[in-house]
Structure 1
Amino acid sequence: MTTELQDLFAFLAVVQAKGFREGARASGTSASSLSEAVRRLETRLGVRLLNRTTRSVLPTEAGARLAERLVPALGEVEAALDVVNSFRDRPTGTLRLNVPATVARLVLPSIVTPFLKAYPEIRLDVIVEDSFVDMLAAGCDAGIRYDERLEQDMIALPIGPRFQRFATAASPDYLNARGRPEHPRDLLGHACLRGQFASGAIPTWEFERDGEIVRVDPTGPLLVRLGAAVDLAVEAAVGGLGVIHLFEDWLRPHLDSGALEPVLEPWWQTFTGPFLYYPGRRHLPAPLRAFVEFIRSR
């Protein structure tokens, strides 16, 4: 029975990670052991659970149905085993967080090191993903998102700065050559460096002043995937290629050094900072409980 349970965990790790190599990395085992576990499970059940190609590993219809039922069931098993953690002097185990790139860059650096020093027996597994995901189905214990992207029926705890701003900036050389916009709509006549979500959507630039909201959809010479390649756009702005619109904290070092000059600052929009969110169940895994208490203490 122990082997069967391990095989179920292995199968779910592969499905959630969408691959044997990625599943091995997430579960702390080897790809070959996961492959063997899935083969044993398929043989025992007499049905193929995964479609394997050289490019992808996807569940069959039977595999998808099984994974859907296993997520809550194996979650309860892990919760039951985690009860033992309350008898330890210090919590141990893995905490899996799903966060957007902005949080990984701007919020977590000041939190991760002191947390792991305070809890050296906890391993933190950070999955950076800007698209909206079902945090539990993805095999994560908690996520960090902004309020408009929070999942329902979750507990939300403020983490990081409570307010942030989007900043607009360009290099002094660019502005001296092209002029300084006085209104957001002036950006329609400028070279703007844009970002794109994984879905393909390109978010408009939003500005606000005295209750007036202005949204513009400018064009420019560079389009980058948000999160993965934002630094490329920042360096392009510093190099004089065009105007950038991004989290103020991301641009702050370049604003302070003078490499970038603020543009339309009275129009910069303020928004609520991120939240740590997690299921509102009675028993939290010990690593997550420790992280929640650590964040609350700060």
Structure 2
Amino acid sequence: MTVAILGVGVMGEALLAGILQGGRPVSEVLAAEKRPERAAELTERYGIEVVDNAEAVKRADTVLLVVKPYDVGPVLDEVAASARPGQLFVSLAAGITTSFVEARLPGGVAVVRVMPNTPALVGEGMAAISPGSFSGDEHLAEAEDLLRSTGRSVRVPEKQQDAVTAVSGSGPAYVFMVAEAMIEAGVHLGLTRVTATELVVQTLTGSAALLRETGEHPTVLRERVTSPGGTTAAALRKLEEGGLRADFLVALEAARDRSRALSSGEPV
């Protein structure tokens, strides 16, 4: 089973490295890259063959589409003549529907839509996958296998992809903003920036690990940290007074609505 990656930028290279580390032979992986210097870099680093988009699709059983959303249409138009029924296209382009991809490829090409996030770059990503009109369990399983090296995945109906984008696709930015705010607060309280950063990063990392490994509801874990009349209770009261929960709901609704607009073709 030959895999071709169209678009070997940051996310595409993360997938490439993961696929090879997962044991797939170099001879079964192709990359498509137009820039000669980048093609030479990929060949030197991974030992893979780099070809143009049409050639990659012609030779592949599975195609990973990892280009920018505005490039998806032109790339599909370029490779449509090389595509064939029975192939699997896995699209990681944000906001691009399976129907958009299917309409530009021959009938019978299976399409799976994926919404990844940036922690995939360190093997801790969260991806949601949705089947298109011609996709079955075997196609979803193949997509999950290819994504396994970059983190975890979950299957969702495609109509939920806009909500997924709001929660996990954009989610790392919310976490980074919280980290930034906590670090600045630590500096304001008299800590050095280095110390504040180390404290915040490890606190976020440890808290996430505690959520995952215990499987307990975040409310339970929060209450264990919060003593009546204590420091944590005082801080949480201020966050509640500021409308933190309501702000998150409004923010995620805005992200979902923007994802819907982009999916419908509204310009960036």
Normalising by the smaller structure, the TM-score range is 0.3 to 0.5
Higher relative contact order (CA 8 A, sep 6+): 1
Larger radius of gyration: 1
TM-score (norm: length of structure 1): 0.34
Taking structure 2 as the reference length, the TM-score comes to: 0.37
Higher helix share: 2
